[in-house]
Amino acid sequence: MKLKFFTLITFVLLSYLSTVNCSVALAYDIQQPIKVRTIAIAPYGIIDDKPPRGIYFDLANSLLRRAGLTPVNHIAPYARIMHDLKTGSIDLTIMFRYKELEDYVTYIAPLPPLNNVVLAKQGTHFSSIESLKGKTIAYLRGAKFSDDIDNDPDILKHQVTNFNQGIRMLSLSRVDAIIGPMDPLLAAAAALNKKPNFFGKPLIVSQRTPWIQYSNSSQAVLPAARIKMLFEQMMVQGELEQLRNKYISRGPSLTSKKRP
């Protein structure tokens, strides 16, 4: 009888310790630093002689700290981030959805959609994607801004490492236009001291939605539902718009109706 009682007590004790250990392990995993990568595109991720910063850089840090997590955030090119999401070398990023990542990431929450545009120098305007045939556009390496343009072999793409390089080439007439989201193109032009009327009228070629997303191969335990809830609160409080106002110089409005 005593042996049975001792065995029962031992079993209960071991079960309790196992539960505690699992709880501690889970808490430990959650408290591990969250490896974040921010796209190396100003104004989202800015690298210069000052500390790293930018709209998405600051937003991810603020969001994770609100969730009680510790972000370790670095700025990297698109191609590197996509590779690291697949391997689980990083935990979280904010960028567009890509078909080749669908099996490798989980999408937490969307940001407001962005217009991708084609811009030429003042005095040149492309009215449609058809009008780009036979032209050369500066295209950010690793990015995908328009399926129609990507799949058209008659539109020549010159890959660039960043938008600054593309705008320099446009300024020297080495390319006919540049493609990308409006805000980064304006930020790059401002950084190069281009006049407000440097660009002509934009051609909107697509609308893409950035997402907060994390790697399915991540070893970190991310409370996705809580992160989504906190992000939605931040949106209501206007934190994203405050960051846009902080990092984007307000130049002349470059607006256009989306092409049919």
Q: Which fold has domain 114-208?
A: D-Maltodextrin-Binding Protein; domain 2 (3.40.190)
Architecture field, domain 23-113+209-247: 3-Layer(aba) Sandwich (3.40)
The answer to whether the 23-113+209-247 and 114-208 domains have the same CATH topology is yes
Neighbouring CB atoms inside 10 A of 190's CB total: 17
Please give the full DSSP string across 54-111, using - where no structure is assigned: -HHHHHHHHHHHHTT--EEEEEE-HHHHHHHHHHTS--EEEEE--GGGTTTEEEEEEP
Q: What is the pLDDT along the chain (260 residues), one digit of tens a residue?
A: 545 555 555 454 445 444 444 443 444 344 689 999 999 998 999 988 899 999 999 999 999 999 999 999 999 998 899 999 999 999 999 999 998 999 999 999 999 999 999 999 999 989 999 999 999 999 999 888 999 999 999 999 999 999 999 999 999 999 999 999 998 999 899 889 998 899 999 999 999 999 999 999 999 988 999 999 999 999 999 999 999 999 886 444 433 344 43
| pTM for this model (two decimals) | 0.76
Domain ranges in the chain? 23-113+209-247, 114-208
